[in-house]
């Protein structure tokens, strides 16, 4: 029995109509990154628990630091799933400091964020390349986790017109190693690196163009059926003030939201779902 099964989380509530069968359900992911104390986590949980109903055509997931996963599984409303922000390439064993996909699954975590630009770049340590991200993704899926797979270009790559070259290079190892069945449990989070934490945001039209190109790449390299079903989230400084315009685009199926997910502005993003 997973740890989460022994927890009595408060019930959530929903509003509106569920996504029609055969259509993509919106996916609103939060990423708390390495932020928060026990006290601040308790405050966010209390705020989110009192924030009212979630649209029935939206799935909501919060990526929290490893140390705050248990308190979220115990106290956060049950209609918000819990994600880890990383998992190891390995199974259990002599891998000091690593947290495995199987351990996360055993705890009751359902999602993991992989390939985030901050981890690809590294912070005082070597960054993770696309082959490593693909192998981690396969490992996480094999243990029953769902994956938010992050891709995206830097400012100089956008200006050089190589956005899709970069995204394709990051997707290619996953396309080579994942089965079509695997993709049913993967979302693609497109995060223009130049827009993360900078206050800059792609216009809805810019974001839509890249999302449509990513979907077409999936048609050409994985299959039209997978491309039509896979959800593509926008991960470049989505917040309450711009969420409605972004989520109105036909190929933007949600968001991976950083700073705003640490406040009630996250629910403004959630409630912007069409």
Catalytic residue annotation:
116, 191
Three-class secondary structure of residue 224 per DSSP: helix
Which residue in the block uniquely carries the two structure tokens 């993770």?
128
Q: Tokens for 201? A: 């945001």
SS3 label, residue 111: strand
Listed residue (111, 82, 73, 106) closest to 92, CA to CA: 106
Rounded to the nearest 10°, the torsion over CA 169, 174, 177, 182 is -160
Give the Å distances, CA to CA, from 75 to 5, 86, 250: 13, 22, 35
Q: How many CB atoms lie within 10 A of CB 83?
A: 25
Residue 86 CA, chain-centre distance (Å), reads 11
φ/ψ bin of 112: left (φ > 0), alpha (ψ from -120 to 50), beta (otherwise)? beta
């Amino acid at each position: 029995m997973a740890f989460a099964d022994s927890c009595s989380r408060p019930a959530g509530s929903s509003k509106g109509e569920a996504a029609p069968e055969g259509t993509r359900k919106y996916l609103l992911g939060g990423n708390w990154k390495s932020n928060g104390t026990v006290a601040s986590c308790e405050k966010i949980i209390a705020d989110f628990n009192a924030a009212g109903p979630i649209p029935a055509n939206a799935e909501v997931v919060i990526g929290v630091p490893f140390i705050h996963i248990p308190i979220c599984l115990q106290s956060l409303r049950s209609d918000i799933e819990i994600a880890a922000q990383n998992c190891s390439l390995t199974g259990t064993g002599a891998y000091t400091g690593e947290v495995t996909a199987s351990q996360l699954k055993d705890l009751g975590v359902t999602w993991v964020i992989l390939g985030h630009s901050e981890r690809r770049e590294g912070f005082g340590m070597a960054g993770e390349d696309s082959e490593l991200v693909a192998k981690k993704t396969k490992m996480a899926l094999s243990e029953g986790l769902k994956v938010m797979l992050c891709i995206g270009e830097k400012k100089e790559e956008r200006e050089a017109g190589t956005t899709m070259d970069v995204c394709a290079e990051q997707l290619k190892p996953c396309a080579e190693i994942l089965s079509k069945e695997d993709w049913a449990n993967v979302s693609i989070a497109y995060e223009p690196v130049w827009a993360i934490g900078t206050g800059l945001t792609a216009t809805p039209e810019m974001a839509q163009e890249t999302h449509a190109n990513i979907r077409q790449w999936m048609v050409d390299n994985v299959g039209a059926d997978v491309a039509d079903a896979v959800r593509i989230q926008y991960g470049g400084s989505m917040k309450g003030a711009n969420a409605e315009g972004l989520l109105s685009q036909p190929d933007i199926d949600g968001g991976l939201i950083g700073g705003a997910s640490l406040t009630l502005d996250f629910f403004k993003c959630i409630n912007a779902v069409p």
